[in-house]
Amino acid sequence: MNLLVVSDIHYASAGEQARRGHEARAIGNPLLRGAARAWRRWVWLNDPLAHNHRIHHIVAANPRPDWVVANGDFSLDTGFVGVSDDAAFASAEEALRILRTAYGSRLRTTLGDHELGKKSLFGGAGGLRLASWERSLHGLQIPPSWYQEFGPWILIGAASTPLALPVFQDDARPEELADWKAIATGLRRQIRELFAAVRPDQRIVFFVHDPSALPFLAREPEVQRRLPQIAATVVGHLHTNSIFRLGSALAGFPTLRFCGHTFRRYSSALGEARWWREFRTVLCPSPTGIELLKDGGWLQLELSEDGSGSLRLQRHRLPWQLKTDPTSA
């Protein structure tokens, strides 16, 4: 079985394209604003609005996979509140339309953190919005979890943010926190049921956008029992394998409680990154990768159909100098 995985498409609709400079406007401190611009220009992504064409190139390069998993973060989330923002919803809807038109019923989709909203990296604007959860499920038709059986293989996907709610709950509005906790409880119950249904002779490929969810899943007895059956856990969120390797190396890093909200959240996640090994975690890069390395692309999994449970993984690089949508030629 040939399985295509794409993640962190970060498509920009016309409404999001009109918000150029959105990140800088959310930062009041001029020194911090300058640091954020330097980070964007030289390391992360100089122009996040300029890469819509890349998903078309990935689709053109993969016309007939058996299954496709889109592992979250479909919009740029320039409003920092997820798809409750109309412009971000339009971006996610356009990205999903491209994939659904190409792959139809072979496509499975997983929620990312930018569908639901998150505070901006430097300015602390925005955050989780319950309306974004509802709009993701009912407007974009992205389920909180899913399950696909294929011979000896079980594919399972789950939304990472509710599963890692202790990491993200400071991003939520106080009046919505009880609802988020109820969502997290319900989703954990779904995951327990899905893992409990796996037979001892089956292998699992698990899809979750943000690896911050993995330590919390590891505390679920049904998931713990099935850890030896997980052939791979595919995550996105980190955009580049270089950051994934750095996170793995920093497993056990202490939580930084004195450097602000963002550093507390990231260091907290790193503190339990040792669980990435237990889940046999691999990264699907974003189509762009990062500006510094220009290492974007997609992930391909080849799953044996003979019951041996063997898996072959390959990352495909997407050339940086891609200027146009191949469908417009």
Alpha carbons 242 and 276: distance in angstroms, whole number: 15
Q: Output the pLDDT for position 272.
A: 67
Closest by CA to 93, choosing from 192, 158, 185, 13, is: 13
- The count of domains in the chain is 1
**Location of structure tokens 């890692």:** 164
Please check whether residue 327 lies inside any domain of the structure: no
Please check whether residue 329 lies inside any domain of the structure: no
Q: Output the pLDDT for position 328.
A: 59
Please check whether residue 218 lies inside any domain of the structure: yes
Domain that holds residue 198: 2-322
Q: Output the pLDDT for position 308.
A: 76
Work out the number of other CB atoms within 10 angstroms of the CB of residue 317: 12
Virtual torsion, Cα 61, 63, 68, 71, nearest 10 deg: 30
Mean pLDDT by 10 residues, the chain (329 residues): 97 96 85 88 93 97 97 97 98 98 98 94 85 98 96 96 93 96 98 96 96 94 96 96 83 51 55 82 97 96 86 95 69
Work out the number of other CB atoms within 10 angstroms of the CB of residue 254: 9
Give the pairing of strands 203-208 and 230-235.
parallel
Please check whether residue 129 lies inside any domain of the structure: yes
Contact 181, 161 (CB under 8 A): no
Please check whether residue 12 lies inside any domain of the structure: yes
| The token pair that represents 219 in the structure block | 């505390």
Please check whether residue 263 lies inside any domain of the structure: yes
| The token pair that represents 309 in the structure block | 């449970």
What is the DSSP code (8-state) at residue 19? T
Please check whether residue 133 lies inside any domain of the structure: yes
Phi and psi at 275, nearest 5°, equal -70, -20
Burial class (CB in 10 A: 0-12, 13-18, 19+), 194: buried
Q: Output the pLDDT for position 259.
A: 46
Work out the number of other CB atoms within 10 angstroms of the CB of residue 176: 17
Closest by CA to 82, choosing from 162, 189, 181, is: 162
The CATH number for 100's domain is 3.60.21
Please check whether residue 328 lies inside any domain of the structure: no
Burial class (CB in 10 A: 0-12, 13-18, 19+), 304: middle
- Helix or strand or coil: residue 201? coil
- The neighbouring-strand residues paired with 290 are none
Residue 257 falls in which region: left (phi positive, over 0), alpha (psi -120 to 50) or beta:
alpha
